[in-house]
Amino acid sequence: MSSAIDLGEPAAVSDGAAGEPARRRHDWARTVVRGTGQTLITIGLVALLLVAYELWVTDLLAARSQQQLSEEIHQQWQEAPTVSPAEAGPTAATRSGTAPSDRAWTPAPIDVGVGDPFAVLHIPRLGDGYSRVVVEGAAQDQLAQGPGHYIGTAMPGEQGNVALAGHRVGRGSPFLDLDQMRPGDPIVVETADSWFVYRVLGDPATRSFAGDPSGIPGQEIVRPTDVSAISPTPDSPWDGPASGAYLTLTTCHPKFSAQQRLIIHARLDGAPLSKAAAPDGPPALKG
């Protein structure tokens, strides 16, 4: 029995010495796994916070900016109105040789600095009462407030292309549902003294964006580097001539991605309308 005990004790000591490295390896592996798991959880939480910030916090901030811009621009229009009451009576008709209603309305020129609001965009297709204040410039600082006007493109009502950019998701998501636009849909631009009605290109009867006689599609998806979409004549050379008065809206595509751009092209429908003659806007505001 003593021999058995003597033989067992050295064996027990030997097993402990041999098992120690294995135990250490096991503890090290467990530490690595635990640390990796904690790191992944932290990364996941940070990612969720970033998503929440992009989807909700920036929307709240942009909504506040839009409210401030709306108050600012309407205050400016009230304090320095460029709208004068429509002339009436024999004196006006005598001076011009025509009745006041027969004379074409000429909007005042727009002179605006980068970051300043100058127009309000109305798109009935995107919801009842949809309106967004447009600022000059299409850099991130401007787009964080709402739709921005590409510097150097036409102003509302002018020959050429009024090009506007807006975020699809986050920063107020002004163009979130731009893919719901249809041929013939009105896009109304309001300035200090005028209303301008543009209509999405295409064939309203067939709902085909490719059905416009100009050959310009009402909707297209392009690379972010394709600047021809906002050329004076859409999809023509950047330095080419304007063949009409157009409006182009650009946003990211698909949603939650910036790999491509979703483009909507529209053309001016009729003459500008004086806000003095139509203070509540044109019928197109109702869709």
Q: What is the residue type of 129?
A: G
Interatomic CA distance for residues 3 and 119, integer angstroms: 102
Q: pLDDT tens for the chain, 287 residues: list them.
A: 433 323 354 444 455 555 666 666 666 767 766 666 666 565 654 445 454 445 566 687 778 999 999 999 999 999 865 544 444 333 333 333 433 444 689 999 999 999 999 999 999 999 999 999 999 999 999 999 999 999 999 999 999 999 999 999 997 999 999 999 999 999 999 999 999 999 999 999 999 999 899 999 999 999 999 999 999 999 999 999 999 999 999 999 999 999 999 999 999 999 999 999 999 999 999 88
- What pLDDT is stored for residue 79 in this prediction? 85
Interatomic CA distance for residues 166 and 176, integer angstroms: 9
- What pLDDT is stored for residue 26 in this prediction? 67
- What pLDDT is stored for residue 278 in this prediction? 96
State the burial class of residue 209 (Cβ atoms within 10 Å of its Cβ: 0-12, 13-18, 19+): buried
Neighbours of 136 (CB within 10 A): 19
Interatomic CA distance for residues 37 and 158, integer angstroms: 59
Look at residue 210 and give its three-state secondary structure.
coil
Give 132's strand partners.
121
Taking the alpha carbons of 46, 52, 57, 62 in that order, is the dihedral positive or negative? positive
Name the one residue in this structure whose structure tokens are 């719901």. 180
- What pLDDT is stored for residue 192 in this prediction? 96
Is beta strand 148-149 parallel, antiparallel or unpaired with respect to 131-136? parallel
For 37, half-sphere exposure in the C-beta direction (CA atoms, 13 angstrom radius) is 6
- What pLDDT is stored for residue 104 in this prediction? 81
- What pLDDT is stored for residue 62 in this prediction? 75
The CATH architecture of the domain made up of 54-84+100-286 is Beta Barrel (2.40)
- What pLDDT is stored for residue 6 in this prediction? 36
Cβ atoms 214, 243 nearer than 8 A: yes
Cβ atoms 176, 277 nearer than 8 A: no
Cβ atoms 217, 226 nearer than 8 A: no
- What pLDDT is stored for residue 3 in this prediction? 32
Helices (H) and strands (E) in the chain, counts: 4, 10
- What pLDDT is stored for residue 22 in this prediction? 65
Look up the pTM and report it: 0.77
